Chain A
Amino acid sequence: MKSLIRIFAIMRKEFLQMSRDRLTFGMIVGIPLIQLLMFGYAINTDVRNLSAAYVDEAETHLSRQFVADMTASQVIIMKQRVASVFELEQLLDAGSISIGIVIPDDFDRRVIERDRQAAQLLVDGTDPIILGVARQLSALPIKFDSQASPPKQADLMEVRNYYNPERRSAVNIVPGLVGVILTMTMVLFTAVAIVREKERGNLELLINTPIKTPELMLGKIFPYILIGLIQLLIILSLGWYFFQVPIRGSLIQVLGASLVFIAANLSLGLLLSTVATTQFQAMQMTFFFFLPSILISGFMFPFDGMPVIAQNIAELLPLTHFNRLIRGIVLRGADIMTMLDEMLALAIFAFITLTLAIVRFSKRLD
């Protein structure tokens, strides 16, 4: 009973402080809003409008038709025509184009005879995504109207796109963003929570009262769980409104998965808070954790493509498990019961970090 009074006291105090700290309050709503719009529109693996230039040594009807077709695909924007391959390479070096097209003077003959490649694409391969786009371009058919079209060959395999038939990146990005934004804000909020009291001198008063460490920790966590759920609702509803990201699974299950994930992040934040001595240190530690979470959790790059070591490390990050959960439930309409191991992983993470935080926190100054 006394414990409940004390936990409630800490919670109430946190809410009061939060409501008076405009910056924090702004971050609660602002971060999801801005990041969702920014990433939702910016992160686009469906590449269009790459800058290009070309050399046309053939100067025939066919070659001009070919350049027009390329431009019509919208994948590239033809910036200019140059006189030689050398100039094309210079443009590539300077970074002013990503793709250069070389049409040799015997282009027509090559197209008709089909014994060699008819034209050449010079690609800035430093970005693998651009390279992938170039591969698509090379598959473009060449219409040679004066010629009977060669017999069509059927592809070996047919691709059927499940869950995202329009191939929109936002469908993948938005649910992933839920996890990224929650990781950032939740860890950060609690990471500074105890350090701030340390810095402002409040902690010396607090540790001289009968409050017990678990009471303090729980009182610090509960208010932020609510904040996390608010952020979740903001992201999902805006994602649905702006990017037409569907929620195919049950909303209750989304909430359930998010709750465990939020608890995991908050516990981690508290653990960082017991290690750091200043708010600045707490922030640095948060970002040390945040960056790998973004990069190897499967949010940015497909998990299966990573080396085994990276995969093993990623399994330790809550975001990895949450990404599978939220994408499963939101996009594929999966049942949470089929992914209980992911839930368990998150729960274990939360339990271990919270226990460590409680053990590490000392009611003494030495």
Chain B
Amino acid sequence: MNQQQIAISASGLTRRFGSLVAVDNVDLEIPKGTIYGFLGPNGSGKSTTIRMLCGLLTPSAGSATVLGINTKKESEALKQRIGYMTQRFSLYEDLSVKENLQFVSEIYAVARRQRKLRVQELLQDFKLVDRSKQRAGTLSGGQKQRLALAAATLHKPEILFLDEPTSAVDPQNRRDFWETLFELAEQGATILVSTHYMDEAARCHSLAILDEGVKVADGTPRQLGEGIASHVVEIEADDPNRARLSLMEQKEISSITQLGIKLRVLIPKTVIDPLQLVNSSLQSTGVTTKAEQVFPDLEDVFVAVTQKRREGTAA
């Protein structure tokens, strides 16, 4: 890829806190204008990685280049060009919505004449006009999140870092939020968003899966699905519980997830005919089942890659 088209690149990025390795040797290459996801459970190093990329934390080893700027040495040059939405609401709760945006516009030293226009524009874009005089502390989760995103995009940054932006937001607000993100990406912004929701991760152009500070997989959602070393079999059963118990005895099966009356089963690709394996082990139970092989979704990928890593470290 052309160097001009890369927004964020990192090599061997590592961060230790005492004996804990929060981020372990992470390599990244994120093209401009894309929405890139960090998927991982709590404590997987998503926030720490984002903080290193913003220049808030110094890497213990490795380096990162954001917009051609080394984050370790010249992080101040970066501040005007990036926006950062913290995991915890970090605007002033005792200021009103409008005052918060005004404050941010002054901190970024937006030209005097444009300040008012820009604040007004954001209030409209983020549906905060009728809340503009309300104290930020009394807003709902979704409103707070919109305000935080408005503040992070006020100075029209080239890269947006969003650290679990939707963790305190209802599903409708999440949908709206993602629509806004796509609009921003269309306007040319690069967006790095961390999440622990599979459906959100699936909406990213590409993503990295982090587990205990290690990047265990990356690529587009499709590439990730193709890349795992497991078949996915979906089984519909009239007694899923009994089916599940009998499948658990089958050593070849690496994971079983129950979704209502359906079971989702991961079987290593070393098994040539996964359907036959499933059917034969279910036959003895007498449960009526219907099994079919499906394309892995991100949850399957997540389970497969984290399990593989655990087994790898255990061995």
Residues of A whose CB lies within 8 Å of any CB of B are: 1-2, 5-6, 8-10, 12-13, 16-17, 20-21, 200-211, 363-366
Q: How far apart are the CA atoms of A205 and B136 in the complex, in Å?
A: 15
- CB distance A202 to B91 under 8 Å? yes
Q: How far apart are the CA atoms of A229 and B262 in the complex, in Å?
A: 73
Q: How far apart are the CA atoms of A10 and B107 in the complex, in Å?
A: 8
Binds A, one of B61-69, B78-86, B290-298: B78-86
Q: Which residue of chain B is the closest to A17 with respect to CB atoms? A: B94
Q: How far apart are the CA atoms of A206 and B93 in the complex, in Å?
A: 14
Chain B residues 62 to 102 lying within 8 A of chain A, measured CB to CB, are 75-76, 79-80, 82, 84, 86, 88-95, 99
How far, in Å, is A218 (CB) from chain B's closest CB? Answer: 14
- CB distance B99 to A210 under 8 Å? no
- Set of chain A residues within 8 Å of B94, measured between Cβ atoms: 16-17, 20-21
- Set of chain A residues within 8 Å of B91, measured between Cβ atoms: 202, 205
How far, in Å, is B225 (CB) from chain A's closest CB? Answer: 35
- CB distance A201 to B89 under 8 Å? yes
6 extra A-B contacts, CB within 8 A, seeds A206-B107, A210-B80, A365-B56: A201-B89, A205-B151, A207-B56, A210-B109, A363-B76, A365-B57
- Set of chain B residues within 8 Å of A209, measured between Cβ atoms: 79, 104, 107-108
Determine if B103 is an interface residue (Cβ-Cβ < 8 Å). Answer: yes
18 inter-chain pairs at a CB distance below 8 angstroms, sorted by A residue, are A1-B109, A17-B95, A200-B90, A200-B93, A201-B86, A201-B89, A202-B91, A202-B92, A207-B56, A208-B54, A208-B79, A210-B107, A211-B107, A363-B76, A364-B56, A365-B56, A366-B57, A366-B58
Contact of A13 among B79, B90, B92, B93 (CB under 8 A): B92
Determine if B51 is an interface residue (Cβ-Cβ < 8 Å). Answer: yes
Q: A208 and B103 in contact (CB under 8 A), knowing A201-B89, A365-B56?
A: no
Q: How far apart are the CA atoms of A364 and B48 in the complex, in Å?
A: 12
Determine if B142 is an interface residue (Cβ-Cβ < 8 Å). Answer: no
Contact of A205 among B51, B82, B84, B93 (CB under 8 A): B84
- CB distance B95 to A205 under 8 Å? no
- Set of chain B residues within 8 Å of A204, measured between Cβ atoms: 56, 86, 88, 90
Q: Which residue of chain A is the closest to B99 with respect to CB atoms? A: A16
Determine if B55 is an interface residue (Cβ-Cβ < 8 Å). Answer: yes
- Set of chain B residues within 8 Å of A201, measured between Cβ atoms: 86, 88-90
Determine if B106 is an interface residue (Cβ-Cβ < 8 Å). Answer: yes
How far, in Å, is A239 (CB) from chain B's closest CB? Answer: 34
Question: Most chain-B Cβ atoms within 10 A of its Cβ — which of A1, A17, A201, A209?
Answer: A209
Question: Most chain-A Cβ atoms within 10 A of its Cβ — which of B57, B82, B106, B108?
Answer: B106
Q: A365 and B109 in contact (CB under 8 A), knowing A16-B95, A17-B94, A205-B91?
A: no
- CB distance B92 to A6 under 8 Å? no
Contact of B86 among A2, A8, A205, A366 (CB under 8 A): A205
How far, in Å, is B7 (CB) from chain A's closest CB? Answer: 17
- CB distance B57 to A364 under 8 Å? yes
Q: Which residue of chain A is the closest to B135 with respect to CB atoms? A: A20
B184-212 vs A, CB cutoff 8 Å, 1 = contact: the mask equals 00000000000000000000000000000
- Set of chain A residues within 8 Å of B95, measured between Cβ atoms: 13, 16-17
Q: How far apart are the CA atoms of A16 and B106 in the complex, in Å?
A: 15
- Set of chain B residues within 8 Å of A17, measured between Cβ atoms: 92, 94-95
- CB distance A9 to B88 under 8 Å? no
Question: Most chain-A Cβ atoms within 10 A of its Cβ — which of B56, B58, B99, B107?
Answer: B107
Contact of B103 among A13, A200, A203, A207 (CB under 8 A): A13
- Set of chain B residues within 8 Å of A202, measured between Cβ atoms: 90-92
- CB distance B107 to A6 under 8 Å? yes
- CB distance B109 to A205 under 8 Å? no
How far, in Å, is A138 (CB) from chain B's closest CB? Answer: 63
Q: A6 and B90 in contact (CB under 8 A), knowing A365-B57, A366-B58?
A: no
- Set of chain A residues within 8 Å of B112, measured between Cβ atoms: 5
- Set of chain A residues within 8 Å of B108, measured between Cβ atoms: 209-210
B109-144 vs A, CB cutoff 8 Å, 1 = contact: the mask equals 100100000000000000000000000000000000
- CB distance B58 to A205 under 8 Å? no
Q: Which residue of chain B is the closest to A205 with respect to CB atoms? A: B90
Contact of A5 among B57, B88, B89, B109 (CB under 8 A): B109
Q: A2 and B109 in contact (CB under 8 A), knowing A208-B54, A365-B57?
A: yes
- Set of chain B residues within 8 Å of A12, measured between Cβ atoms: 103, 106
- Set of chain A residues within 8 Å of B109, measured between Cβ atoms: 1-2, 5-6, 210
How far, in Å, is A9 (CB) from chain B's closest CB? Answer: 3
Q: Which residue of chain B is the closest to A203 with respect to CB atoms? A: B90
- Set of chain B residues within 8 Å of A208, measured between Cβ atoms: 54, 56, 79, 82, 84
Contact of B106 among A1, A8, A363, A364 (CB under 8 A): A8
Q: Which residue of chain A is the closest to B95 with respect to CB atoms? A: A16
- Set of chain B residues within 8 Å of A206, measured between Cβ atoms: 107
- Set of chain A residues within 8 Å of B58, measured between Cβ atoms: 364, 366
Q: A9 and B92 in contact (CB under 8 A), knowing A204-B86, A209-B79, A365-B56?
A: no
How far, in Å, is A321 (CB) from chain B's closest CB? Answer: 36
Q: Which residue of chain A is the closest to B88 with respect to CB atoms? A: A201
- CB distance A365 to B93 under 8 Å? no
How far, in Å, is B106 (CB) from chain A's closest CB? Answer: 3
- CB distance B99 to A9 under 8 Å? no
Q: How far apart are the CA atoms of A9 and B106 in the complex, in Å?
A: 6
Q: Which residue of chain B is the closest to A5 with respect to CB atoms? A: B109
How far, in Å, is A210 (CB) from chain B's closest CB? Answer: 4
Q: How far apart are the CA atoms of A204 and B161 in the complex, in Å?
A: 13
- Set of chain A residues within 8 Å of B84, measured between Cβ atoms: 205, 208
Q: Which residue of chain B is the closest to A211 with respect to CB atoms? A: B107
- Set of chain A residues within 8 Å of B79, measured between Cβ atoms: 208-210
- CB distance A364 to B55 under 8 Å? yes
8 nearest CB pairs, A to B: A9-B106, A205-B90, A2-B109, A210-B79, A208-B84, A201-B90, A201-B88, A209-B107
Q: A210 and B55 in contact (CB under 8 A), knowing A13-B103, A202-B90?
A: no
Q: How far apart are the CA atoms of A365 and B50 in the complex, in Å?
A: 12
- Set of chain A residues within 8 Å of B103, measured between Cβ atoms: 9, 12-13
- Set of chain B residues within 8 Å of A6, measured between Cβ atoms: 106-107, 109
